[in-house]
Structure 1
Amino acid sequence: MARRYDRNVTTFSPEGRLHQVEYAVEAINNAGTAVGILAVDGVVMAGEKQKVTKLLEAPKSSEKIYKLDSHVATVVAGLTSDANILINEARLAAQRYLYQYGEPIPVEQLVERVCNHKQLYTQYGGQRPFGVKFLFAGHDKHFGYQLYLSDPSGNYSGWKATCMGQNSNAGQSLLKNEYEETMTTDACVKLALKVLHKTMESLTADNLDLFSLKLVDGKMVHTVYAHDTVADLLAVVKEEQEAADRAAEAKAAQTLQSTTTTPA
């Protein structure tokens, strides 16, 4: 039944669904995991770099995190080729606003412009939706630090912490349990690594991009964590996770023993 309604992006199914948009979302769900967390003193983002072959040279392969303007950055999940088009649109919109008004574009306004461009590709025949999701992180004088998630339909929403890509449901569950609004950037970095440790099969410093955006002395500082720093942080997170797992196993064993023991 669905095959009758998925050949054209402008045709709704009887249930009111656009199947082409849903197919784009499925492509994203198979992409590398990405996570964004809002801290009191900045924004932290991390993403999995999926390498198709070990012959690829890491510094020259596709990036996961992109700088859009001095106060905005984004992490990508999905088709990199589609993302490049939208990233160029975002950078152009940011510079046009800066030239016209003499101040950086508000973060939400930039996100809205990108999402309007994405939504246009769900309205006209002969086109397909962009198969990419974005996590936008930024800071402006209106709302301070902000984190937005956008999908192929052109919809976007603000988040305190969220996850996208493979095993995003497991990541969201962990964020719900452990995220706190009073967390600092350092604490959010550890939480982001814990999320990726849970959602990725093999987490190493080689297949991970870690990024933070902070306001320092009135200037926005974009920090891409060095390989050695990421490796040290991963070692700490894995050690803490193993200790927590051992404690949970010991508690479970103690509970089981107490329930099976009967009084004489």
Structure 2
Amino acid sequence: MARRYDSRTTTFSPEGRLFQVEYALESVNHAGTCVGLRTNTGVLLASEKKTMSKLLEQSSTPEKLWKIDKHIVIAVAGLNADAMILVNFARLVAGQYKARYGLPIPVENLVQELGDHMQGYTQFGGLRPYGVAFLFAGWQGGFQLYQSEPSGNFSAWKAAAIGASHQAARSILKTEYSEGLDISEAKGIVSKVLQKTMDCMSLTEDKVEMVYLSYNELNGEVELERILL
């Protein structure tokens, strides 16, 4: 039955489903796990690094964490080629906003602009949805964590996970998360989640990348720190 409705992005099935969007979401669910956790002093982002081959140069391994502006960093799950296009688009939007208003772009504005762009690819023939999802960590008067999907939908979270085994990851986050976590507690929770989803006893830097976005009240600047495992 699905064959009649999955060849076009703009065709709804009798159940009201867009199969091409669901297929894009499946590509995200087969990617490496990404986890985001908001603490009392910042936002922690962690991503599983999948090595496609031992013969591949380390410098050629696809990046999973990207800095969009000095106050926004994102984690990527899905098709790397699609992710690069959207990362460049997000940087362009952030730069244009700053040039026009002289201020850093609010995190929600950037997420909405990117979501609108992604949603446009679900409603016109001849296009396919982007097969990528994002976690946005940012600071704008307070720490924020957003998640976006290939459909263009986005939402704000205290803790979130995307990619492979995201449902198991969210179950652990729901159990372990509490208000007022510090960085060491957040790192412990995220490590527990990744150990479960990756099915490994110990995490190493060649398997996981982790960064922490914080705000320095002394100089009024947002700082991005790479967390060592």
Q: TM-score range by the shorter chain?
A: over 0.9
CA shift, 1:8, in A, is 0.3
Secondary structure class of the residue paired with 2:185: helix
Give distance in 2, aligned partners of 1:161 and 1:49.
20
CA shift, 1:70, in A, is 0.6
Say yes or no: does 1:44 pair with 2:44. Answer: yes
The answer for the alignment partner of 1:251 in structure 2 is none
Secondary structure class of the residue paired with 1:31: coil
Residue of 158, 177, 187 corresponding to 2:156: 158
The sequence identity of aligned pairs, in percent, is 50
Structure-to-structure mapping, 1:73-84, within 5 angstroms: 73-84=73-84
The answer for the alignment partner of 2:205 in structure 1 is 205
The answer for the alignment partner of 1:219 in structure 2 is 221
Structure-to-structure mapping, 1:1-264, within 5 angstroms: 1-141=1-141, 144-202=142-200, 203-216=203-216, 217=218, 218-225=220-227, 229-230=228-229
Per the normalisation by structure 1, the TM-score is 0.83
Q: Deviations over 1:95-135 (max 9, x none)?
A: 11111111101000000000100000001111100000000
Secondary structure class of the residue paired with 1:157: strand
Alignment coverage as a number of residue pairs: 225
Give distance in 1, aligned partners of 2:150 and 2:88.
17
Please, which runs of 5 or more residues in structure 1 have no aligned partner? 231-264
Q: Comparing 2-11 with 198-207, which one deviates more in the overlay?
A: 198-207
Q: Deviations over 1:22-73 (max 9, x none)?
A: 0011111110011000001000000001111011222332111000001001
Please, which runs of 5 or more residues in structure 2 have no aligned partner? none
* 1:106 partner amino acid: P
- Using CA pairs below 8 Å that are at least 6 residues apart, which structure has the higher relative contact order? 2
Secondary structure class of the residue paired with 1:205: coil
* 1:39 partner amino acid: T
Secondary structure class of the residue paired with 1:206: coil
CA shift, 1:186, in A, is 2.2
Secondary structure class of the residue paired with 1:199: helix
Secondary structure class of the residue paired with 1:211: strand
Give distance in 1, aligned partners of 2:98 and 2:35.
29
| Higher Rg of the two aligned structures | 1
Q: Deviations over 1:134-180 (max 9, x none)?
A: 00000002xx1000000000000000001111111111111111101
Give distance in 2, aligned partners of 1:105 and 1:186.
29
